[in-house]
Structure 1
């Protein structure tokens, strides 16, 4: 077997930072979601698009990291590398979710206290594998394929993207890949313009409608990221982290476009953000360099905690959302608790990174190399 611990390439440090910015925006989006009465008054309205940004960023980085390594790497090597990178925190996310679930109760989930311990533990173990559970096994009542840690759905699709890349798409010519990306873009635009809700929100349930949304959200950004890396010629852009971060924040925080009679307008915004603005943001970030130790440290910190934040924050959001719903608490009153939730998400992510994720990944790399 070839050694899957391949020589390390330099990181796109600004892209690492952008990943962290997007992850924190996701936490803020979910906090504000607890106070929204509908899609139309949600603050940080388009924070859900961070998932699509992650998919595009993943495609770009996967192409950069592996396209030229297949002569020295087998399929097994690739899958081991990706499992070592992603799976430890998936397991931790499910454990955190199970602990929070066990001590939880809310008017949002009136039957949650009736779930037997063995069933919760079974869902947790299944969650370790990222195998989605059907709605009949949903123990929370939100029809999530991973009811202990909702964001697990996007990791499920991330793995599908990795599998498709490794088995087939890595062999595509740029022309064939461009055709795939074009068709995927049409698929995405059709979803956004025909969606009864006028957005791409969804993908977390094992039902046909939600799987449709999940694949539409995965295919264009993931393979569009691959194509972007293959065909783009990078330039030098000053203050790239500043400009790309600001643009990303604006896109994710943009208020709802249109109203209930013109939902297609918001759908158009979603598709244009994913197809045009996100590739532009990644291009700006990849074209920049960091000046000074402070900027490098900020981007490294944001990049390091980005994945741990994303995969462990939602159990805290369940608690926050339940607290808000139980007391019908307005945001102004809940502000200190919302700040505490954001800070707690970052602290939890950093603790998991340093005390669990990095040591486990280092151990696994040594075992695989041996």
Structure 2
């Protein structure tokens, strides 16, 4: 099969894992905020999605820009499907299996009335990454993937891959720079003037959420793609440590500005425009010398995508329990901490088991059947 001789960025793999772990912690703690963003701990954890988009643009550009003389469009999309779809399927199955256990009439008003046939149809549709509208909602949160909410980011990833394969890969850098400047300006405009004062959103199949999703996708992906083309290799010491610290800090900063919501939007816009590409640049130019750190980065990289795409059904369960028991005084916050820790550990365990005993073997088998040999 066609293989890339490009460098493997083990630090970027590890950073993807760091961001994914922060997302899981963000979602666990989000159960106590219930949409009241100023109260959210690890307040800007949702911005990890924007980092993923930057990283995706960089990795796609670096891995594929120099291979189109040997690779067809079909081959490219096969590779993307092989990489992403196995875990998409597992995430959808876990979401379906646990759905009725997530039942909380106040929090998820549609679950108890959702017939099994409808849940199964939504699950199978979820296998394909085709989003569903409100008529197929089985939860009541208007998610385009109601069994596994984070699937919305994969929806936009596939859009980015398609635009890259048909258009962006052919464009000269100057055109990409112009497009990135325009996209960055639109992002900052929304961040500062938007009614929410933040960049959260993109998960529903309606005009407002789709607009947010495309705004969040376009600049980050273009900036990552440009970085893969324009980056001048250098060597940065302790890159993994510094990038992990920066990532943790910027995603954990409390909400900024109080009622002056534009200040929080400005912060988030600057993080996406400047900090995330900088993290990718530093990570791409670093090197891990310690064997122990290499193992940590590899482990984080291995579970990064699996934990992201499989953890949320557990979050639904935990959030429903917190809402019905803890916030109504039936259970203690000490018990919530214990259950939250168990949710975190179980999320990691499911991801590791899935990647080692399902994802990697299936991708290897699909690759042997689907991809060209050279």
Interval of TM-score (by shorter of Structure 1 and Structure 2): over 0.9
CA displacement 1:49-75 (0-9 Å, x = unmatched): 000000000000111100111111111
Rounded Cα–Cα distance in structure 2 between residues aligned with 1:311 and 1:243: 26
1:77 aligns with 2:75: yes
1:270 aligns with 2:246: no
Q: Which runs of 5+ in 2 are unaligned?
A: none
Number of the residue aligned with 2:126? 127
In the TM superposition, residue 293 of structure 1 has moved relative to its aligned partner by 1.2
| Aligned residues of 1:35 and 1:330 also touching (Cα < 8 A) | no
Rounded Cα–Cα distance in structure 1 between residues aligned with 2:102 and 2:232: 51
1:147 aligns with 2:124: no
In the TM superposition, residue 109 of structure 1 has moved relative to its aligned partner by 1.6
Q: What SS does the corresponding residue of 1:323 show, helix, strand or coil?
A: helix
Q: 1:64 aligns with which of 37, 54, 62?
A: 62
1:16 aligns with 2:18: no
Does the C-alpha gap of structure 1 residues 185 and 99 become closer, same or farther in structure 2, counting only changes over 3 Å? same
Number of the residue aligned with 1:216? 215
Q: 1:352 aligns with which of 351, 354, 367?
A: 354
1:6 aligns with 2:3: yes
CA displacement 1:219-252 (0-9 Å, x = unmatched): 0001110011111212111111000000000010
1:320 aligns with 2:318: yes
| Aligned residues of 2:31 and 2:319 also touching (Cα < 8 A) | yes
Rounded Cα–Cα distance in structure 2 between residues aligned with 1:76 and 1:330: 54
In the TM superposition, residue 8 of structure 1 has moved relative to its aligned partner by 4.9
Q: What SS does the corresponding residue of 2:8 show, helix, strand or coil?
A: coil
Does the C-alpha gap of structure 1 residues 332 and 262 become closer, same or farther in structure 2, counting only changes over 3 Å? farther
In the TM superposition, residue 332 of structure 1 has moved relative to its aligned partner by 4.2
Number of the residue aligned with 1:257? 256
Number of the residue aligned with 1:225? 224
In the TM superposition, residue 137 of structure 1 has moved relative to its aligned partner by 1.6
Q: What SS does the corresponding residue of 2:102 show, helix, strand or coil?
A: coil
Rounded Cα–Cα distance in structure 2 between residues aligned with 1:156 and 1:85: 14
Rounded Cα–Cα distance in structure 1 between residues aligned with 2:5 and 2:172: 25
Number of the residue aligned with 2:282? 284
| Aligned residues of 1:144 and 1:150 also touching (Cα < 8 A) | yes
Q: What SS does the corresponding residue of 2:164 show, helix, strand or coil?
A: helix
Rounded Cα–Cα distance in structure 2 between residues aligned with 1:364 and 1:331: 46
Number of the residue aligned with 1:176? 175
| Aligned residues of 1:40 and 1:256 also touching (Cα < 8 A) | yes
**If the length of structure 2 is used for normalisation, what is the TM-score?**
0.96
**If the length of structure 1 is used for normalisation, what is the TM-score?**
0.97
Does the C-alpha gap of structure 1 residues 7 and 287 become closer, same or farther in structure 2, counting only changes over 3 Å? closer
Rounded Cα–Cα distance in structure 2 between residues aligned with 1:330 and 1:143: 30
In the TM superposition, residue 110 of structure 1 has moved relative to its aligned partner by 3.5
Rounded Cα–Cα distance in structure 2 between residues aligned with 1:39 and 1:102: 27
| Aligned residues of 2:78 and 2:371 also touching (Cα < 8 A) | no
Q: What SS does the corresponding residue of 1:160 show, helix, strand or coil?
A: helix
Q: What SS does the corresponding residue of 2:20 show, helix, strand or coil?
A: helix
Does the C-alpha gap of structure 1 residues 143 and 18 become closer, same or farther in structure 2, counting only changes over 3 Å? same
Rounded Cα–Cα distance in structure 2 between residues aligned with 1:235 and 1:332: 48
Rounded Cα–Cα distance in structure 1 between residues aligned with 2:62 and 2:308: 23
Number of the residue aligned with 1:29? 26
What is the 5 A alignment of 1:102-117? 102-106=100-104, 107-117=106-116
Q: Which runs of 5+ in 1 are unaligned?
A: none
Q: Which moved further from structure 2: 289-298 or 302-311? A: 289-298
